[in-house]
Structure 1
Amino acid sequence: MIDITRRNALMGTAALVLSGCVGRTAHAADLHERLGAIERAAGGTLGAYVLDTASGEGTGWRQDERFAQCSSFKLSLAALALHLQEAGEITLNERIAFTKADLLQHSPVTSQNLDTGMTIGELAQATMVTSDNAAANLLLHRFGGPERLTAFWRALGDDTSRLDRYEPELNDVPPGEIRDTTTPVAAAHTLARLLTDNALREPSRDTLIRWMIAVETGGKRLRAGLPAGWRAGDKTGTGIGQTNATYVDIGWFELPSGQMVVVTSYFRPGKITGTIDPGAEFALAEVGRVAADWAMEQRS
């Protein structure tokens, strides 16, 4: 549980950041400093990047440093399923059989469908919306392994992101490890390509966006910091080990004008709690607040 002193420090910094005491100008340096203030208050290591897809302007904090992807890779995995259907390599209606041996911790959808199996489309939706781990592994095996997802990133122009292992091993990323990692800036540009460029056709983009909006695991992270009523979607990731932990949320929000802003956020807390750390999630929510504030200032 987050201690009162630490929560007060986080909330105090948030008040300073969001009140405009650090300045109301729409400069990248200003956003950089606001993100840095979140890291200092939270007492861990924050990586984040905010990208305005309309102007192409973006900046962040530790945006070129590597962080564990954890389950956030499942967003690109779902996009890969949609891409492969477009290319005629698979059909989303293909049914995949599996057994109890394929199930992992946190397999809420696959565990209910042992008798019937699931289609590729159903598996992709499950791994996105509920972060079903067995669904992710089944898709990876069907598509050719982690290296196939890495190849997809390379085809999108992302030379940084990589997937090397399956669930749950991919969550064990100690400092200095490059397997199963990305950088905030690489992840942001990849997400922007999937959502706004021609990496996917419009029906597939619409499906991916719909799945991101329906995600059930991000209510206390980026989206918690956005103004009520804003349209948004995300994909979370959480890796909690004995010696390291990473909290992830990558997503997008739409301004009232309809323009899309992409945000990627990664936080390694200074202390390992062994359970979900409310302070870590609060730090990611503050990234969402700062990103929304900055994006609105861009248009003021």
Structure 2
Amino acid sequence: MRSQVSRRHLLVGGALALTGTAPRPSTEDALAALERRAGGRLGVCIVDTARGTTTGWRQDERFTQASSFKLSLAAMILAEADGGRLGLGERLGWSAGDILPHSPITAASAAMTLPIRELARAAVVTSDNIAANVLLRKIGGPARLTAFWRAIGDRISRLDRYEPALNVTPPGTVLDTTTPAAMAATVSRIVRGDVLRPASRALLVEWMVAADTGRNRLRAGFPAGWHAGDKTGTGGGARRPIYVDLAFGGPRGRAPLIVAVYYKPVGTASAAGAEAVLAAVGRIAAGSVA
């Protein structure tokens, strides 16, 4: 865990205390304090793409991805389209046996078929579960998404199962997990790098901005007026809940922050309480820009 405080930090802090000026806590210190107040386990990685710096808390520890994998799935779909290996206008279907909860876009399709572009958008914007599984089958299954991560430089992230099983990582395994540092770097590559052609990258960013599942998470902590988008994940079940958000954000005209946050509350914490912790991470991240 990258949470050590240097001797120089302590000496400077002591000197400031003697002069009566309280030092501003580092981002790591602020995240550690938030975890202590909230309880549970908090993993965060903040990449400042303008400054080329990375900071966080428990950023090399593994966490369940839950539905946040759908952002990378959509990116892979767009990359496949960029390479001419599939067409976004191709229609994919599903059957009654594929029906899952939280599938607002696919559930509204009486024909049980939609174009790949609309399925990818649904997976990001509304976190549609049927759409995600249909797209996973199209690309060849979870192992193919893992291979995509490896191909773009992510040696950590993995997907092993389909919705809804992937939302719970069995104790003692690393199924369907990532680390904050690995995923923040991946998000940076797909929204800022050359993984996608410019038009596809712009489309993915557009979907993240339109996403409606994370309004109370990281983006709730970003200042009004920031250009921001995200993709959430919620899983773990009642016994091991996890709340995830992957976001970019920053003032217009400035290269954005990329933030990956994973929060495992203790006990039966409310969803509102857990989301408030993620919003607090957003405020801490935004404070690092000032």
The answer to whether the superposition gives a TM-score over 0.5 is yes
Letter in 2 for 1:83: A
2:115 alignment partner, one of 113, 119, 125: 119
CA–CA distance in structure 1, aligned partners of residues 195 and 273 of structure 2: 36
2:187 alignment partner, one of 184, 187, 191: 191
CA–CA distance in structure 1, aligned partners of residues 43 and 240 of structure 2: 15
Gaps of 5+ in 2: 1-20
**Aligned equivalent of 1:90:** 86
2:103 is equivalent to residue 107 of structure 1: yes
1:147 alignment partner, one of 139, 143, 151: 143
**Conserved 8 A contact 1:247-1:280:** yes
**Aligned equivalent of 1:281:** 275
2:197 is equivalent to residue 201 of structure 1: yes
2:44 alignment partner, one of 48, 67, 70: 48
Q: CA deviation at 1:55?
A: 2.3
Equivalent positions of 1:1-300 (< 5 A) are: 23-24=23-24, 30-115=26-111, 117-273=113-269, 276-296=270-290
Letter in 1 for 2:23: G
Q: Where does structure 1 differ by over 6 angstroms across 4 or more consecutive aligned residues? A: none
Q: CA deviation at 1:56?
A: 1.7
SS in 2 for 1:233: strand
Query: What are the superposed Cα offsets for residues 162-208 of structure 1, whole Å, 9 maximum, x if unpaired?
Result: 00000000001144430100000000000001111111110011000
Q: Size of the alignment, in residue pairs? A: 270
CA–CA distance in structure 2, aligned partners of residues 254 and 24 of structure 1: 21
Q: CA deviation at 1:256?
A: 4.3
Q: CA deviation at 1:106?
A: 0.7
**Conserved 8 A contact 2:39-2:265:** yes
Query: What are the superposed Cα offsets for residues 82-107 of structure 1, whole Å, 9 maximum, x if unpaired?
Result: 00001111000000122222110111
Q: C-alpha root-mean-square deviation of aligned residues, in Å?
A: 1.4
CA–CA distance in structure 1, aligned partners of residues 281 and 265 of structure 2: 15
Q: Mean alpha-carbon deviation: is it higher for 165-174 or for 95-104?
A: 95-104
CA–CA distance in structure 1, aligned partners of residues 149 and 274 of structure 2: 28
Letter in 2 for 1:91: G
Larger Rg: 2
SS in 2 for 1:134: helix
SS in 1 for 2:258: strand
CA–CA distance in structure 2, aligned partners of residues 288 and 218 of structure 1: 12
CA–CA distance in structure 1, aligned partners of residues 78 and 281 of structure 2: 29
Q: CA separation of 1:139/1:289 partners in 2, compared to 1, >3 Å: closer, same or farther?
A: same
Q: CA deviation at 1:155?
A: 0.6
CA–CA distance in structure 1, aligned partners of residues 189 and 271 of structure 2: 31
Q: CA separation of 1:219/1:22 partners in 2, compared to 1, >3 Å: closer, same or farther?
A: farther
SS in 2 for 1:295: coil
CA–CA distance in structure 1, aligned partners of residues 271 and 216 of structure 2: 11
Letter in 1 for 2:286: A
**Conserved 8 A contact 2:219-2:279:** yes
CA–CA distance in structure 2, aligned partners of residues 190 and 290 of structure 1: 21
Query: What are the superposed Cα offsets for residues 71-129 of structure 1, whole Å, 9 maximum, x if unpaired?
Result: 00000000011000011110000001222221101111101113151011000000100
CA–CA distance in structure 2, aligned partners of residues 175 and 228 of structure 1: 40
CA–CA distance in structure 1, aligned partners of residues 113 and 266 of structure 2: 41
**Conserved 8 A contact 2:169-2:236:** no
